[in-house]
Amino acid sequence: MIFKELIKIIIYGTLVVLFISVNALFLVWAERRVSARIQLRRGPIHVGWQGLLQTVADAVKLISKELVLPKEADRFLYILAPMLVFAPLLSAFLVLPLAQNVVIRDLNIGFLFIFSLTNITFIGIFIAGWSSNNKYALLGSMRAVAQNISYEIPLLLSTMGVVLLTGTLKMSELVPAQAKGWFLFTQPVAFLIFLCSSLAEANRAPFDIPEAESELVAGFHTEYSGMRFALFFLGEYTAIFISSAIAAALFLGGWQGPLLPGLVWFLIKTYGIIFIVMWIRWTFPRLRSDQLMALAWKVLIPLAMVNVFVTALVLELQKILA
Amino acid sequence: MSQSLQSYLVISSALFAIGVFGLLGRRNLVAVLISLELILNSASLNFLAFNKFSLPDKSLGQVFVIFIIALAAAEVCVALSLILLLYRKKDSINVEDAKELRG
Amino acid sequence: MIADIFFMGVALLTLLGALLAVSLKNVFYNALSLILSLFGVACLFIFLNSEFLAIIEIILYIGAIAIAIIFAIMLSSPMIQKKEEKPDVKKIARSFILAALFFWGLLQTLRRTVWPAANPEGDYSLGAIGKSLLSNQILPFETVSLVLLVAIIGALMLAEKKGTAR
């Protein structure tokens, strides 16, 4: 009995890790092609069919680089940090609703589980900056952590509107509740706030001050090379995938769709949102650190609170008038 | 050790004792604050243990722990600004350097 | 059986984190051990059927309070390490004896009291907490929000540098 569970755990774990690697490979290629089209150039087209193997070539190059350990750096923390950044994102796959009745663990607290684990990612980012013993890395990590904890509040508040409409946090009940109409149309403001906040949570442009390439050398992963840098990168693309998957499940109706199987619709909607995320990256200029904070505290949080208030008001009025 | 009320209470007493040791024995003010957080956590653990094993209304203990966490956040907020103020004045956060009652 | 093994492991992790949090010399390591201990406490909350509180503990304690403590360590530790101070053995011995006395006293009280028993099954759901917060416990709820407001304003006023424009 226990043996069967253990086998299941190993199989699921391997599948998840394989999926993350393939996903990151695909997304890096997609990003380079999308940015190339937006900037009127071609992008990678030589390595493999349509340039799909370009990322494999990059990965081989990264793995073959020397793993440098800076002299004054704190050794244990320096090695621990990339693992802390990447590991919680693996367990976020436990609650994604892939198809009808296919959720690996249908927790009572649903998507809040993922948002709580991303806090451990922030601790990892902070440790990465601190242990590198490098002032650019430290500055980058402090800004990253401040940005992340500020944007977590509108992220959670914007999902509260959806929770009010369905009365449950479970992922397996939030998706079928959209059978009559996607929450994108009943909660448009919440969708925009969610998209904005998840961009900021993943440290992605236009909110990518922490890893700003032209400002802080490379932010908190300045001193990392080779496989450790690859772990940070994998972490970022996985975070984007998970945020888009939650947005698809909460606002776009998850796996529901006419002809194709549920899993295919889920992936189509997720990658659609990822395409929008990449589009945004290459369209808007980067926000300055104080503009970023002002946006979170002065604009997004009041908007999200007003959204929750209006949703609750409309629900109560419906109950009274019915 | 099986999960019973006794085992949870022993764990929270151990956390409390470790927190008291840190509170009284450390010289760095931030370390004292960290020990204080351990003490508050042991109290929350206590509340939830009694909530599961001795209370018929299961939401009461959880509500109380929510209050504990909120109040801990408020207290850390004020304590950290006091620490920063002390650091600005005296350039050290050693408990021994803050013995005067003026300023 | 398996649950008991996990329970013991999590409890040991929590206590290990707490011990490291009060004994290591470097304050930054203390904060990281505190995070480990808080994570162990959150897992213990899950054993006690309160998953929502475990998530809240991770989001608030680890994600906000511990990060605020780490920020304070960064802002208040000198860039150049001053000379090493030798540990004050008398102070540590005094506090150890006091802590051991507390622990022993609590253990004795635990063993001798007969605690009232109730059914461990019940309504632990988030809906019950919400209803309770807004009906029975509304007075402490509003008071806590007032306390939070006062704390934020107080902290901002205390930490303001002299000469900033009002």
Q: In this structure, what CATH number is given to the domain that contains residue B39?
A: 1.10.287.3510
Helices of type H across C89-163:
89-112, 126-135, 138-159
Chain C residues with CB-CB distance to B24 below 8 A: 91, 94-95, 98-99
Our answer on whether B and A touch (3+ beta-carbon pairs < 8 Å) is no
- Are the beta carbons of A123 and C66 separated by less than 8 Å? yes
pLDDT one-digit tens code per residue, A206-250: 777 766 655 555 566 666 777 777 788 888 889 999 999 999 999
Cα–Cα nearest to C132, from A305, B61, A308, A162: B61
Question: How confident is residue A111, by pLDDT bands cut at 50, 70 and 90?
Answer: confident
Range with the poorest average pLDDT among A14-23, C34-43, C93-102 = A14-23
pLDDT one-digit tens code per residue, A48-107: 777 777 777 777 887 787 777 777 667 788 888 888 888 888 888 888 888 887 788 788
Cα–Cα nearest to A91, from A242, A202, A266: A242
Chain B residues with CB-CB distance to C116 below 8 A: 54
Domains held by chain B: number = 1
Q: Which among B52, B69, B93 has the least Cβ separation from residue C76?
A: B93
| Residue B30 in tokens | 């931030």
| Residue C97 in tokens | 């004896």
| Residue C88 in tokens | 């004050």
How far apart, in whole angstroms, are the C-alpha atoms of residue B25 and residue C91? 6
* Minimal C-alpha gap between C18 and chain B (Å): 7
Strand, coil or helix: A254? coil
* Minimal C-alpha gap between C117 and chain A (Å): 27
pLDDT recorded at residue A254: 82
How far apart, in whole angstroms, are the C-alpha atoms of residue A307 and residue A315? 12
* Minimal C-alpha gap between A115 and chain C (Å): 8
User: What percentage of residues in chain A have a pLDDT greater than 70?
Assistant: 94
| Whether A115 contacts chain C with CB within 8 A | yes
On whether the CB atoms of residues A42 and A60 are closer than 8 A, the answer is no
Q: In C, residues 112-141, which contact B (CB 8 Å cutoff)?
A: 115-120, 122-124, 128-129, 131-133, 137, 140-141
Collect all residues with Cβ–Cβ distance below 8 Å to C5 and sequence separation of at least 6. none
Count the Cβ atoms, other than its own, within 10 Å of residue B98. Answer: 15
pLDDT recorded at residue C55: 93
Residue numbers of the domain that contains B83: 5-98
| Whether C18 contacts chain B with CB within 8 A | yes
Is B85 domain-assigned?
yes
How far apart, in whole angstroms, are the C-alpha atoms of residue B50 and residue B61? 8
- What is the ipTM metric for this complex? 0.91
On whether the CB atoms of residues C17 and C37 are closer than 8 A, the answer is yes
Domain C1-78 has CATH 1.20.120.1200: yes
| Whether B8 contacts chain C with CB within 8 A | yes
**Best of C23, C47, C65, C70 to disrupt the B interface by mutation (most B CBs within 10 Å)?**
C65
Q: Which among C35, C58, C127 has the least Cβ separation from residue A116?
A: C58
Domain ranges of chain C: 1-78
- The structure's pTM equals 0.90
How far apart, in whole angstroms, are the C-alpha atoms of residue A42 and residue A58? 18
How far apart, in whole angstroms, are the C-alpha atoms of residue A31 and residue A151? 24
Q: From residue A236, how far is each of A78, A86, A89, A201, A243 by CA, in Å?
A: 18, 9, 9, 10, 11
A302 phi and psi angles, rounded to 5 deg: -60, -40
Is B103 domain-assigned?
no
**Best of C8, C13, C15, C69 to disrupt the B interface by mutation (most B CBs within 10 Å)?**
C69
pLDDT one-digit tens code per residue, B2-19: 788 899 999 999 999 999
| Residue A268 in tokens | 């189509």
Burial classification of residue A190, based on how many CB atoms lie within 10 Å of its CB (0-12 exposed, 13-18 middle, 19 or more buried): buried
